[in-house]
Structure 1
Amino acid sequence: MSSTRSLPEDPTMLRYVVMRVWHDFLRHRTIDAAASLTFFALLALVPTALALVSGVALFVDDGRDAVEEILVVARYILTPNAVESLRSPLEQMLSLSSPGLAFAIGLWLTLWSLSAYATAFGRAMNTAYEVEEGRRIWKFRGHMMIVTLVLMVSLALIAVILLVTPTLSDAVAGRLGIGRPWTDLYNVLKWPVLVALAVLSVAVLYFFTPNVRPPRLRWVSYGAMVALGGWALATAGFATYVLTVSNYDRFYGWVGGVVVVLLYAYISNFVLIIGGELDSEILRMRQLRRGVKAEEVIPLPMRDTARNHILARNLAWDIRVGRAIRERSLRENGGVLDPDELRRLHLRSEHEQAAADAEREHAAERSEQTDTTSHAPSTP
């Protein structure tokens, strides 16, 4: 039986891309990468909630109405008990004595936490393109800060659009003196705007986070469409499952809400990574069709290689010192390479030494006996 898979007679481009994405999934530890992104996403959840709620507290008179609007959005993806468990923390945040300070602190912590998420996403995309991160830590983190600012603006707009529910939009329209047709138009147009903002966020992540420069920025790539489509299906299916089938509240109580958020964040990050893997393999296919040797490595310019040189020097030092230790051990052990052979030689040497000592003792005894015999008086 052959150890290698036979080549298809007519390898189609679609099959090649799909199989490479599958192999990348197995080889690049996508499950672990999605778990890492989930951790950093949830790390940014608390400061984001603080910034969001304190920002709402700056512009509303009655905090209870704002809490209700936030909970209306939360009911789409959380269980009823989990939604109710959020009420008390939200009301406490809205009753802060200095919401402006809380908003500033939450905004800064959100920026820092989301930049950690963008950094982790960049590492995942480096794995997708099979390259090492070459930017120094200060440059890499600074670059991710800029990416995070764009993402924060996009996510803030998404949050505002989601929070402005039909009830709240009618209230705002009444305060501004705008007629009902304008609110109906807003409630219809907000969905295309949400899709556009989501596409922008994914495109920025795919293009700017890895340490390679793709040929051009594709606002709507195949990977982005797969990621957003998969995320939408996962959102709908997961929301249906949570609201109709699951028993998280029965088994976990209020912790069930945390479990739901964890699973939802994990699924979202998983489809994002798969979309990035798909984009990298489609780019590989385009290069192969142009005759570029890309079956092993996708030849793309690197954003920076300073860190790669440092890592190469460190690796060379590790190898050089390790070789010196090995060669010194060889000199001390008489050139023996195998540790088992070295132990056998030591044992044989000990046995030979013991045999030689025994032989010397036996010879000494024979010599003593001979001397005794020669000095004995002869019989007449």
Structure 2
Amino acid sequence: MAGPTTLVAAGCAFYATLALFPAISTLISIYGLAFDVQSVSTQLETLRNLIPPAAFEIIQDRVNELVSVPHSSLTLNLVISTTIALWSASAGVKSILSALNIAYGATESRNFFAFQALAMTLTLSAILEICLGMAIMVAIPILFRLLPFILRIEPPPGSIELSVRLAGISLMAVLMILAYMILYRVGPSGHHAKWRWVAPGAIAATFIWLLAAAGFSYYVANIASYGSTYGPLGAFVAIMMWFFVSAWVVLLGAEFNAELEAHAQNKKRVVMRV
């Protein structure tokens, strides 16, 4: 089980790396249709400690380039980047769907068009969820700065900034849990698990990912020297490894859910026999 899962996670990391910059273009374009694109770069700070420094700088530079594009050209960018990003990113999603079948011991029974449609739907849903999360994160600092005036209290120095940071991480965790629950619910072929059976793995995967991402970022920044080993490619190697860790954690949560569900079903059969 671990061997195939690890190989599929590596495949997901490859496709995710290819899709990263087209996906960022799509995200900026969709977000810019309804909100101020200048706020995107500010929200990136939430991810600073979860992404290797060199990789974060590359992503930040790309975002800064995109937000400087005039708003009038966002619609054209949306059409071009969405087509490229959805094809590339959906390939990574399809790899995850195949890995979920392995985790649940399921055989792919969906036809070609249903499988492709599901992968595209999940990919686009993930992008829209990120846009929604970013929009909410823009409103969080405003809300926390208004609360002292509404409640007529004087907050301690630095408490508002800390509250905003914690609220941002909490929002990210909630959105990730919801995304994982949907993925574990509809991903495996011919398998319709109850929501209570997919929640434990989704919660575990979210918190493991937060710890693993922060730990990997610290490792790359302070211990491993990807730049010395890989030269100019060090940042991209770090990005691919970051995606590998992320995909592996997602599949770990799926296997955890599969074991819990199998245990619950076996226990139910034993009770019925008695």
Q: Shorter-chain TM-score: which interval?
A: 0.7 to 0.9
Q: Indicate which of 49, 53, 66 corresponds to 1:76.
A: 49
Matched, 1:268 2:246: yes
Q: Indicate which of 66, 71, 92 corresponds to 1:93.
A: 66
TM-score, scaled relative to structure 2: 0.77
Matched, 1:282 2:248: no
Q: C-alpha distance in 1, partners of 2:186/2:80?
A: 27
Cα 1:78–1:225 change in 2 (3 A) is: closer
- Report the 3-state secondary structure (helix = DSSP H, G, I; strand = E; otherwise coil) of the residue aligned with 1:135: coil
1:156 aligns with 131
Specify which structure has the bigger relative contact order, considering alpha-carbon pairs within 8 angstroms and separated by 6 or more residues. Answer: 2
* Contact kept? 1:30, 1:270, Cα under 8 Å: yes
Q: Indicate which of 105, 119, 125 corresponds to 2:100.
A: 125
* Contact kept? 1:35, 1:266, Cα under 8 Å: yes
User: Aligned letter for 2:118?
Assistant: H
1:109 aligns with 84
Q: Which runs of 5+ in 2 are unaligned?
A: 151-158
* Contact kept? 2:51, 2:217, Cα under 8 Å: yes
Matched, 1:237 2:215: yes
Cα 1:93–1:215 change in 2 (3 A) is: closer
Q: CA deviation at 1:200?
A: 0.6
Q: C-alpha distance in 2, partners of 1:220/1:291?
A: 20
2:181 aligns with 203
Structure showing the higher helix proportion among its residues:
2
User: Aligned letter for 1:114?
Assistant: A
Task: Say which is worse superposed, 195-204 or 207-216, in terms of deviation.
Answer: 207-216
Cα 1:81–1:283 change in 2 (3 A) is: closer
Q: CA deviation at 1:142?
A: 1.4
* Contact kept? 2:31, 2:131, Cα under 8 Å: no
Task: Say which is worse superposed, 182-191 or 206-215, in terms of deviation.
Answer: 182-191
Q: CA deviation at 1:70?
A: 6.1
Cα 1:173–1:223 change in 2 (3 A) is: closer
Q: Which runs of 5+ in 1 are unaligned?
A: 1-23, 293-380
Q: CA deviation at 1:268?
A: 1.0
Q: C-alpha distance in 2, partners of 1:52/1:149?
A: 10
Q: C-alpha distance in 2, partners of 1:195/1:188?
A: 11
- Report the 3-state secondary structure (helix = DSSP H, G, I; strand = E; otherwise coil) of the residue aligned with 1:221: helix
Q: C-alpha distance in 1, partners of 2:120/2:58?
A: 33
Cα 1:229–1:89 change in 2 (3 A) is: closer
Q: Indicate which of 94, 119, 137 corresponds to 2:112.
A: 137
Which one has a bigger Cα radius of gyration?
Answer: 1
- 1:212-223 correspondence to structure 2 within 5 Å: 212-218=190-196, 221-223=199-201
* Contact kept? 2:197, 2:260, Cα under 8 Å: no
Among the aligned pairs, what percent are the same residue?
28
Q: CA deviation at 1:44?
A: 2.3
TM-score, scaled relative to structure 1: 0.58
Q: C-alpha distance in 1, partners of 2:69/2:178?
A: 34
* Contact kept? 1:118, 1:209, Cα under 8 Å: no
- Cα distance per residue 1:65-124 (max 9 Å; x no partner): 865x36645642445554444565444434445122113332343333333333222211
User: Aligned letter for 1:275?
Assistant: G
Cα 1:241–1:126 change in 2 (3 A) is: same
Cα 1:88–1:41 change in 2 (3 A) is: closer
Q: C-alpha distance in 1, partners of 2:131/2:63?
A: 18
How well do the aligned residues superpose, as a CA RMSD in angstroms? 3.3
Q: CA deviation at 1:161?
A: 5.3
Q: C-alpha distance in 2, partners of 1:173/1:288?
A: 49
**Corresponding residue pairs, total:** 257
2:25 aligns with 50
* Contact kept? 1:44, 1:113, Cα under 8 Å: yes
- Report the 3-state secondary structure (helix = DSSP H, G, I; strand = E; otherwise coil) of the residue aligned with 1:134: coil
Cα 1:193–1:56 change in 2 (3 A) is: closer
